[in-house]
Copies of this chain bind each other. A is one copy, B any other.
């Protein structure tokens, strides 16, 4: 399973399974002199739980993350930071009954196809629990970006059939769904309750906005900034689509409509989403993310077991109704990690 490292200079490696001792990350290549401490990491992990009581599960998951290396007196030294997040309440019993059954929409079957062995407890490495490590590493990336006044935020612009029609991003920061439209948010709350009762789940759309990114970030050709962002975001389990700027809308426009004209004061529009030819142009970077519904549902589904026998499965336990708004923190983390890496890459050749 090589492939657990992302980044060229600001390198993040994660490890850990849902029901092992814990999950975590090693961050290699963080510049020295950045103020980092356990409180910052824990706060980021707390934010990941935003709205949990509504859209998600009620499980308490007290993430006592700890930085075990790489800082001295709460400042980075240039050596690798290791952050360990212990798994506190892993109860594998709930999974014993379905240990040899492939849950539809999950990686159970593909892990078995790939490795011929799998840790079935809580989804193992494929569990959303793994994203806690990304969020922890993202907090370090954000600290690097903050020094340059770069800010990354992710908002919910759709949940199931409910669409945000207003974009009050200041409001969104305290909204339960991180939705920029209070009325839509209230409708989302009702939708969630209804779906919960049904034993079903919801998908949605998240928008990531990067403010303050300098121009010149991104390496043309294969490591374009948008290409690296697309990979980072698509590497989040529930994501099925990524757009930059106008995205699929751009496909419908004519050149004269889609091109952002340039004036001495900057770009007149931002269909490009802040990235031209793979390089940031100084405008806001706009990313839109399709999030599929949580595959674990109470409703009965058809599947097979490891031997290929037909089975019916109904997922018990307290599962999230939607990856949103938890996934928003993960989107921010992955975007921040990618930007921090490109920020340092650009320094190398400047």
Q: Which residues of A contact B (CB under 8 A)?
A: 1-6, 8-11, 13-17, 20-24, 26, 28-29, 31-33, 66, 68-70, 72, 75, 77-82, 84, 102, 104-107, 109-111, 113-119, 124-126, 130, 158, 160-161, 195, 198, 200-205, 215-224, 226-235, 237, 240-248, 250-264, 268, 271-273, 275-282, 290-297, 299, 301-304, 308-310, 344-350
Contact partner, A291, options B13, B230, B251, Cβ 8 Å? B251
Structural contact, A124 and B77, CB atoms closer than 8 A: yes
- Chain B residues lying within 8 Å of A69, measured Cβ to Cβ, are 15-17, 20-23, 125
Q: Nearest CB to that of A260 among chain B residues? A: B104
Structural contact, B224 and A124, CB atoms closer than 8 A: no
Structural contact, A303 and B261, CB atoms closer than 8 A: yes
Instruction: Kindly state the separation between the CA atoms of A106 and B271 in the bound complex, as whole angstroms.
Output: 13
Instruction: Kindly state the separation between the CA atoms of A25 and B118 in the bound complex, as whole angstroms.
Output: 22
Query: 10 extra interchain contacts, Cβ-Cβ under 8 A, other than A3-B219, A237-B277?
Result: A4-B79, A4-B80, A21-B68, A22-B69, A32-B349, A105-B258, A110-B281, A230-B230, A261-B303, A347-B350
- Copies of this chain, how many? 4
Structural contact, A115 and B219, CB atoms closer than 8 A: no
Q: With A248-B241, A304-B263 known to touch, is A282 a contact of B124 (CB < 8 Å)?
A: no
Structural contact, A80 and B276, CB atoms closer than 8 A: no
- Chain B residues lying within 8 Å of A80, measured Cβ to Cβ, are 1, 4, 13-16
- Chain B residues lying within 8 Å of A243, measured Cβ to Cβ, are 240-241, 290
Q: With A113-B216, A297-B259, A303-B262 known to touch, is A2 a contact of B11 (CB < 8 Å)?
A: yes
Structural contact, A161 and B220, CB atoms closer than 8 A: no
Q: Nearest CB to that of A243 among chain B residues? A: B241
Instruction: Kindly state the separation between the CA atoms of A161 and B257 in the bound complex, as whole angstroms.
Output: 14
Structural contact, A3 and B244, CB atoms closer than 8 A: no
- Chain B residues lying within 8 Å of A124, measured Cβ to Cβ, are 72, 77, 79
Instruction: Kindly state the separation between the CA atoms of A260 and B292 in the bound complex, as whole angstroms.
Output: 12
Q: With A32-B116, A113-B281 known to touch, is A240 a contact of B231 (CB < 8 Å)?
A: no
Structural contact, B240 and A246, CB atoms closer than 8 A: yes
Contact partner, A68, options B9, B22, B110, Cβ 8 Å? B22
Instruction: Kindly state the separation between the CA atoms of A275 and B304 in the bound complex, as whole angstroms.
Output: 18
- Chain B residues lying within 8 Å of A216, measured Cβ to Cβ, are 110, 113-114
Between A1, A222, A224, A282, the greatest number of chain B beta carbons within 10 A of the residue's beta carbon is seen for A1
Closest 5 CB pairs of A and B: A107-B277, A3-B219, A3-B223, A2-B29, A231-B231
- Chain B residues lying within 8 Å of A235, measured Cβ to Cβ, are 221-224, 227, 278
Instruction: Kindly state the separation between the CA atoms of A217 and B113 in the bound complex, as whole angstroms.
Output: 9
Q: Can you name 29 A-B residue pairings with CB atoms under 8 Å?
A: A1-B78, A1-B79, A9-B348, A9-B349, A15-B68, A15-B79, A17-B70, A17-B79, A21-B68, A78-B114, A84-B84, A102-B262, A104-B261, A105-B272, A106-B276, A114-B217, A114-B346, A202-B254, A227-B235, A240-B243, A240-B247, A240-B273, A241-B243, A241-B244, A241-B250, A248-B248, A255-B299, A256-B301, A258-B295
